[in-house]
Structure formats: structure tokens, C-alpha cells
């Protein structure tokens, strides 16, 4: 049995507010878990992406994180100051490379930032599945409408 309010209906604003509230709670919890390491949740996400594909261009990191190139560069610069990545400059591009220090710290970081395990404790398998299905359905319902081609209209 679920220990939350039994909400039978909600409007679109209610859905958006609750989704944002939960996302914010995830970010705050991650930041608090990682605070002792001097790393933010955004930096942790970037480090995970870099560990998955080493020698990554900053634009690729931005695409994987779904942020602007400038935001990815700011995150990477903070990781470089912590000696977790280095900038390898070549004649045509600059790549981010994960340092050995980051690889050794990552196992410890993962212990502190294991938010999925907390979710698994708080929700049953069926509840998690239903939540993911509902979030995907909401995501699909928000496809932007196609803009009219005003230049073709008379």
C-alpha cells in the first residue's frame, strides 16, 4: 500500500510542479551526498559521462549532459581544478581526459551518490515501473507543435 495522498486528478500544472520538485530534491540530495568530496551533482554526472567515453570533446560532453557548450566547459573547468580531468589540446580540438585520480576516487564517490538505491528502497518495483511509464507518457505528450510555415502562407 502506498503511503502518499490518493490523488485522483491533477491538472498539467500540478504534474509539472511535482516533476520539478522531485528533480530538485534529487539534485539537492546528490549535492549533499557529494559535498564532502567537493563535487556537485552536475560535475558527478559529467564525470560519469567522461568515464563512459574517455577523450571526449567538450561539445560531445554538452550533448550527453543536454546542456550548452558553455555550461559543459564550466563543469569541466571545475573538474580540472579538482584534478579529476585534464584538457588535452591538439591542433584542431581540445579533449577532456579523466585522470587516474578521478578513477580511484570514483568508486568512493559512487558509494556516497547511490541515489538509485535509495529510490529502490522507497518504492516497490511495480511503483517504479509505473512511475517511469507515466513520466515517459508525459514526455511523449509534450512534443512541441509544428510551427506553421508562415513564409508559405498567402
What DSSP designation does 123 have?
Answer: S
Q: How many domains does the chain have?
A: 1
Structural domain contains residue 62: yes
CB 40 within 8 A of CB 31: yes
User: Which residues lie across from 98 on neighbouring strands?
Assistant: 85
Structural domain for 51, as ranges = 39-117
> pLDDT tens digits for 28-71?
888 888 888 888 889 999 999 999 887 899 999 999 999 999 99
Structural domain contains residue 79: yes
* CATH code for the domain of 66: 1.10.10.10
Alpha-carbon distance of 152 to 154, in angstroms, equals 7
What pTM does this model have? 0.70
pLDDT class for 154, splitting at 50, 70, 90?
low
Helix axes 125-141, 12-34, angle to 10 degrees: 120
Amino acid at each position: 500500500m502506498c503511503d502518499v495522498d490518493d490523488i485522483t486528478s491533477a491538472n498539467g500544472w500540478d504534474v509539472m510542479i511535482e516533476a520539478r520538485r522531485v528533480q530538485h530534491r534529487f539534485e539537492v540530495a546528490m549535492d549533499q551526498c557529494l559535498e564532502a568530496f567537493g563535487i556537485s551533482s552536475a560535475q558527478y554526472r559529467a564525470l560519469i559521462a567522461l568515464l563512459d567515453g574517455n577523450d571526449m570533446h567538450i561539445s560531445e560532453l554538452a550533448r550527453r549532459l543536454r546542456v550548452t557548450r558553455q555550461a559543459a566547459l564550466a563543469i569541466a573547468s571545475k573538474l580540472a581544478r579538482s584534478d579529476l580531468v585534464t584538457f588535452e589540446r591538439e591542433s584542431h580540438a581540445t579533449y577532456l581526459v579523466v585522470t587516474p585520480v578521478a578513477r580511484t576516487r570514483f568508486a568512493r564517490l559512487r558509494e556516497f551518490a547511490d541515489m538509485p538505491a535509495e529510490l529502490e528502497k522507497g518504492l516497490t518495483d511495480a511503483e517504479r515501473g509505473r512511475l517511469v511509464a507515466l513520466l515517459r507518457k508525459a514526455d511523449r505528450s509534450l512534443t512541441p507543435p509544428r510551427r506553421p510555415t508562415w513564409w508559405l502562407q498567402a
